[in-house]
Structure 1
Amino acid sequence: MARTRKGLIAAAGALGLAALVLTGCSNGNPLSSDDSGSTGSSKTITIGSAAFPENEILAYIYADALDNAGVKTAVKPNIGQRDRYIAALKSGEIQLVPEYTGNLLQFLDASATATSSDDVYAALQAATKSGGSGKLDADKAEVLEQSPGQDADSYNVTKKFSDDNNVKSLADLKNVTTPLKVGANPEFATRPYGIPGLKSTYGVDATLTPISDSGGPNTLKALLDGDVQLADIYSTTPSIKQNDLVTLADPEHLIGAQNVVPLIATASASSKVTDTLNKLSAKITTDVLIDLNTKSSVDKQSAQQIAKDWVKANGF
């Protein structure tokens, strides 16, 4: 499942795009700069975000934590897709953005094959330092410490299926004797981490039930109704907790890691900034991301309020 699934929840982010909040000030262009945050050497760190709610919330969390540490920040939310906000980082229009390790690595190095969290992170550090084939300037940007939390494809089953079949991981599926159907987007039929990967990595035979909503309500309904036994749902989707689903462990790292990680202009990575963001990142688990997304999509709270409450509750 490609990260374009964020279009499903981008409607909320689109409201932010219309407002384009810049630390409380309206600005008609998400990439326009002001005199306080246009260069990496500025005292102000301008934080960008991609155009979906989770990433916007993380940007405001970074901003609030840094502000409380005495670092002046500005936020330019909902810039757009990765190519746009990476270009903004390279040009100096922003200095910091919340990222996801696996997708950023693939963006910078399409030939990368790492899948585990540690291997992806190591490869990403090297790709960022080298500039990623010109997408960044060499030695001008870096990733700080990654969070334990991931926003990645994940295989999910109902608790009843898990209990009845003693299934906690993808490896356990080989012991299930009944036919297995997977609810996912049509491209899951050929994706390396889809139907082919289940067979080649775990020895599991399964068939695809194509459902074109990127792990949304139709996929969830098919799982709950028993029309499929497994569903590909992004790991930070609120419906996982709301429906007591069991996300299957992936011991062979079939699905590439997507840990949250700050990508920052090296000139802005002072010891205070680095220390603050590293401590913050350590607290961002997948469960935290689910809770943040629930407050956004279910409780309809603003990204700014969600961030402010989280930062306060976690002592930053």
Structure 2
Amino acid sequence: MILSGCGTSDPLGGTGNCAGDGLIVGSANFPESETVANVYAEVLRVNGFAVDTKLNIGSREAYIPALRQCAISVLPEYTGNLLQYLDNGATATTATDVDTALGKALGSDLAIGTPAPGEDSDAVVVTRATAERWNLHTIADLAAHAAEVKFGAPAEFQERAGGLPGLKKNYGLDIAANNFVPIADGGGPATVRALVDGQVTAANIFTTSPAIAQNDLVVLTDPKHNFAAQNIVPLFNAAKKSDKALATLAAASAKLTTTELTKLNEAVSGTGKTEPRAAAVAWVAAQGLNTPIG
């Protein structure tokens, strides 16, 4: 069953091939995914693998079929979102529960490596001034001020389980419809600017965004795990998984903390605008991963 899709045409315009020892590292079409994919490619090369890359493929609807068909061999994924893609009825949110559920949802043609400690998860973020004025530490602390809160997030945040419905259910944070401000950049610059300029009081921004530190923003803690864990994990076509590849990427994953992911994002998306491959090569060297793993 592992090999059942390996001779069919793939979504990238070629024919998948599960044979051979070489690996093709893929990525989704956003900078963090491309950068981590380059980290994977670099450490695999250092450890003797023949590596090609197919980056910026697109969404899961494009790259999961490509992975199943061996058009790519491995790419960085996010545990919580991958679980939801594979099982849209999944309710797990803690890292342990997500990993357990994901193991059951992968099927026979996909396999994961060791998740990194770092994750790029949804968060409720406020300015330092707001946090100090209302003595905010957790999302629950914001609930007492809900009537005063204008909340900025993508439009779908109003409806999805981990969005406004989850914040109301888990923390009593009830945002009125006229206090929700839809912003369509996925927690990017427009969302950050709306928060910093006071157009919104709180916003949905991802935890590895360099803008959090750059603007001295405060991430409110989520002790009830409203937002699913999103640890970065290597996702393989199961036929391309090997003990050596798993060990090699586990060594890289161990270094990919949330802080280090944020640094990589800052290098690529900050003022320096380093190319993802150059940022990855520099990071691999700085982490001592530029020599073969013992």
Per the TM superposition, whether the score is higher than 0.5 is yes
TM-score, with normalisation over the residues of structure 1?
A: 0.81
Match of 1:146 among 102, 110, 115: 115
- Looking at structure 2, the residues matched to 310 and 177 of structure 1 have their Cα atoms a distance apart, in angstroms, of 41
Displacement of 1:177: 7.8
Aligned residue for 1:223?
195
Aligned in 2, Cα 1:32/1:211: closer, same or farther, shift over 3 Å?
same
Q: Which moved more, 1:55-64 or 1:178-187?
A: 178-187
Aligned in 2, Cα 1:67/1:217: closer, same or farther, shift over 3 Å?
closer
Displacement of 1:237: 1.9
Q: Which moved more, 1:94-103 or 1:221-230?
A: 221-230
Aligned residue for 1:265?
237
Match of 1:102 among 75, 80, 84: 80
Aligned residue for 1:67?
45
- In the TM superposition, what whole-angstrom CA distance separates every residue of 1:42-73 from its partner, at most 9, and x where no partner exists? 12111111112211111110011111112221
Contact kept, 8 Å, 1:39 with 1:95, in 2: the verdict is no
Alignment coverage as a number of residue pairs:
275
- Looking at structure 2, the residues matched to 187 and 108 of structure 1 have their Cα atoms a distance apart, in angstroms, of 19
1:53 aligns with 2:25: no
- Looking at structure 1, the residues matched to 64 and 185 of structure 2 have their Cα atoms a distance apart, in angstroms, of 27
- In the TM superposition, what whole-angstrom CA distance separates every residue of 1:254-311 from its partner, at most 9, and x where no partner exists? 1122211101123332222111111211211222222212211222111110110011
Unmatched 5+ residue regions in structure 2? Answer: 1-10, 290-294
- Looking at structure 1, the residues matched to 181 and 161 of structure 2 have their Cα atoms a distance apart, in angstroms, of 17
- Looking at structure 2, the residues matched to 151 and 91 of structure 1 have their Cα atoms a distance apart, in angstroms, of 27
1:171 aligns with 2:144: no
Aligned in 2, Cα 1:31/1:50: closer, same or farther, shift over 3 Å?
farther
- Give me the identity figure in percent: 43
Aligned residue for 1:160?
129
1:301 aligns with 2:274: yes
Q: Which has the higher contact order (CA 8 A, sep 6+)?
A: 2
Q: Which moved more, 1:203-212 or 1:164-173?
A: 203-212
Contact kept, 8 Å, 2:146 with 2:173, in 1: the verdict is no
1:42 aligns with 2:20: yes
TM-score, with normalisation over the residues of structure 2?
A: 0.86
Aligned residue for 1:252?
224
Q: Residue 173 of structure 1 aligns to which amino acid in structure 2?
A: L
Unmatched 5+ residue regions in structure 1? Answer: 1-28, 131-137
Aligned residue for 1:282?
254
- Looking at structure 1, the residues matched to 67 and 182 of structure 2 have their Cα atoms a distance apart, in angstroms, of 37
- In the TM superposition, what whole-angstrom CA distance separates every residue of 1:169-202 from its partner, at most 9, and x where no partner exists? 1122235487222112233332322222222110
Q: Which moved more, 1:62-71 or 1:186-195?
A: 186-195
Aligned in 2, Cα 1:53/1:246: closer, same or farther, shift over 3 Å?
same
Secondary structure, in 3 states, of the residue corresponding to 2:236?
Answer: strand
Aligned residue for 2:7?
none
- Looking at structure 2, the residues matched to 307 and 214 of structure 1 have their Cα atoms a distance apart, in angstroms, of 24
Q: Which moved more, 1:305-314 or 1:80-89?
A: 80-89
- Looking at structure 1, the residues matched to 226 and 262 of structure 2 have their Cα atoms a distance apart, in angstroms, of 22
- Looking at structure 2, the residues matched to 294 and 229 of structure 1 have their Cα atoms a distance apart, in angstroms, of 24
Q: Residue 168 of structure 2 aligns to which amino acid in structure 1?
A: K
Aligned residue for 1:210?
182
Match of 1:126 among 104, 115, 118: 104
Q: Which moved more, 1:234-243 or 1:185-194?
A: 185-194
Match of 2:92 among 87, 98, 114: 114
Aligned in 2, Cα 1:218/1:267: closer, same or farther, shift over 3 Å?
closer
1:180 aligns with 2:149: yes
Secondary structure, in 3 states, of the residue corresponding to 1:300?
Answer: coil
